[in-house]
Structure 1
Amino acid sequence: MAEARAAGIEQKLTAANEKIGVFEQDLETAKKDATEASQRAEEFGGNLRDLEQRFNEIASRNLSCIDENKDLKKKLHDAEHALAVAEERTASLNTLFQEIGHDVLAVSKKIMTVTSDNDA
C-alpha cells in the first residue's frame, strides 16, 4: 500500500514537474515578449518624437507662410488702390490734354484767320 501511495505521489510529482516546466517555458516566452515590446515601445517613442518635431517644423513654416500671405494680400490691395488712383489721374490728364488740344486748335485757327486777314 505504501508503494502504491509512493507511486501515486511520484506520478503527481512528475505531473507537477511537467507543469512547472511548461510554466517556466511560458515565463521565458513572456520575458522575451516583454523585452521585444519594450524595444518596440522605445522605437515607437523615438519615431513619435521625430514625427512631433517634423509636425512642429511644418506648423512653424505654415504660420510663416500665412503671415507672408497676409503681407502679400495687403501689398496687392495697396497696388490695386495705387493702380485705380493712377487710372483716375490718367483719365484726368487725357481730358486735360484734349482740352489743351482744342484750345491749341482754336488758337491756330485764330492765328490763321489773322494771318490771312493781314495778307489780304
Structure 2
Amino acid sequence: MHSNIKAASSNYTNLVDIGIGIVSGGLGGVVFWLTVLPLGVAKTLIQTNPDKNCSRNPFRILSSIYQKAGFKGCYTGLGPTVSRAFPANAATIVAWELALKMLGIKHD
C-alpha cells in the first residue's frame, strides 16, 4: 500500500501514513475477529454455563451451536465485534506508527 500511494502524494506523507494505518489496522482487526469469533462464542458459552459438568471442549460446543443454529449461530455478536474492532485496531496501528516516528525508529 505504502509504495503505491507514497509516490503520488509526496506533499502529504503524514496524512498518507495515517490513512494507511487506519485502513490496514482496521481491516486487520476485522479479519482477525472474523477468523476467531466462533471460538470466542464457544468460550463465552463455556464461561457462562452454570452447569459445571458440561463439556469444556470448544470444538464440541461449536458443533452443538452449528447443529442448532447453523453457521449464523457461530457468529453471534458479529456486528458489535466488528464495529469495535475496526476503530480500535486502526487507532492501535496509527499510535504504533506515530510512536516509531517520534522515537526515530525506521522500519521498512
Higher share of residues assigned helix: 1
Query: TM exceeds 0.5?
Result: no
Larger Rg: 1
Normalising to structure 2: TM-score of the pair? 0.29
Higher relative contact order (CA 8 A, sep 6+): 2
